[in-house]
Chains A and B, each alone.
Chain A
Amino acid sequence: MNILSLYLIFFKIGLFTIGGGLAALPLLQNEALRRNWFSQAEFFHMVAVSESTPGPIGVNMATYVGWENAGLLGSLAATFGLVTPSVIIIVIVARYFFHINEKPLVQSALSGLRPAVTGLIATAAYNVLTVAVFPLQNFLESGLWGDLFDPVTILLFVTIAVTYAKWKAHPIFYIAGAALAGMILF
């Protein structure tokens, strides 16, 4: 992977991400799977690492993808690519259109954009759910219901969901706990 194209791909992702770092996820997943950078499973490992480490998740993902593709230079290129649109656009906004967020046209564009971003993040959630919890692909190949509903997996999923809903602790606790449970249960 060429350093310049890594930079440009992440520039594009940065330009079309509006919102928190999580909003970069569907764009990143789309680019990554299309270019065969890594498998779905590897992608989820990256999400786990990015969620449980300090820093915006989008920046963490960019660093990780860049590193996997082209080492140190790659991680720098991907991260700089991701933040370049922010720097350019914010400097322009700060200088000329300070109150851009109060303009009705911007507000109305956001009113359409925000629900769509929710839908995009839902596709990322759907993808991880149908690989990690209900392995749809395995079921479609084998036709065995046991492949779709593994009791141990579902038990772990429900346990994490209930504890997460109850105590909103930092994601790292759930990820570390799930790693430990995985080593023991599977």
Chain B
Amino acid sequence: MLPILDRELVEKRKWVTEEELMDYYAIGQSTPGIIAINTATFVGFKKAGIPGAIAATLGMISPSLVIIILIALFLGNFAEAPLMQKALKGVNIAVSVLLISSVWKFSQKTLKDIMGVLLCLAAFIAVGFGGISPIPVVALSAGAGILRFLIGKNKR
């Protein structure tokens, strides 16, 4: 998504500078919500206030709404057919490859120390096998990060 934003907003329209876009993207990553939506909302707000933020967000979700509804209409009727069942069995195998590859990519970016590895394992076990909702896991892990920072600061 970032390369498309860069071409449209920085190079073509000169709405924001390269540095501003990187700032928005960094903030989009560290605030609740999907990065793409957050970044778009930020650009929209800077350009035209609250209406701009809403317009950018609506623009970002419109293609999804149209395309997914068309597919759901089509897929809903065919999912029961035996040939479709076989195709979906193949598709599920591809999905597992894509997800494992995402996990691999994220691990390389996020597991930088022992605490990271432990938090990752704890989240995996708690949600995957303990049946715990991801929400307290998200909240507690953010708390653990802050706690480590505060303890580190006290020692110094």
Contact = CB atoms under 8 A, between A and B. Distances in A.
Contacts of B35: 19-21, 56
Interface string B46-63: 100010011001001101
B66 to A, nearest CB: 9
Given A86-B41, A109-B142, A182-B87, A22 B68 contact: no
Interface in A75-105: 75-76, 79, 82-83, 85-87, 89-91, 93-95, 98, 100-101, 104-105
A116 B137 contact: yes
A4 interface: no
Chain A contact patch, size range: 35 or more
Interface in B55-92: 57, 60-61, 63-65, 67-69, 71-72, 75-76, 79, 83, 86-92
A23 B99 CA distance: 11
A83 B27 contact: no
Does more than half of chain A's interface fall in helix, strand or loop, or is it mixed?
A: helix
Contacts of A23: 34
A115 B124 CA distance: 10
B102 A91 contact: no
B17 interface: no
Contact of B34 (A17, A53, A123): A17
Does more than half of chain B's interface fall in helix, strand or loop, or is it mixed?
A: helix
Contacts of B150: 108
A115 B116 contact: yes
Contacts of B116: 111, 114-115
7 contacts: A54-B64, A59-B64, A87-B57, A114-B116, A125-B102, A156-B90, A178-B90
Given A56-B60, A101-B30, A122-B103, 11 more contacts: A47-B95, A47-B99, A63-B61, A79-B64, A89-B33, A95-B45, A112-B145, A118-B103, A119-B122, A119-B124, A125-B102
Interface of B: 1, 23, 26-38, 41-42, 45-46, 50, 53-54, 57, 60-61, 63-65, 67-69, 71-72, 75-76, 79, 83, 86-103, 106-107, 109-111, 115-117, 119-124, 127-128, 133-135, 137-150
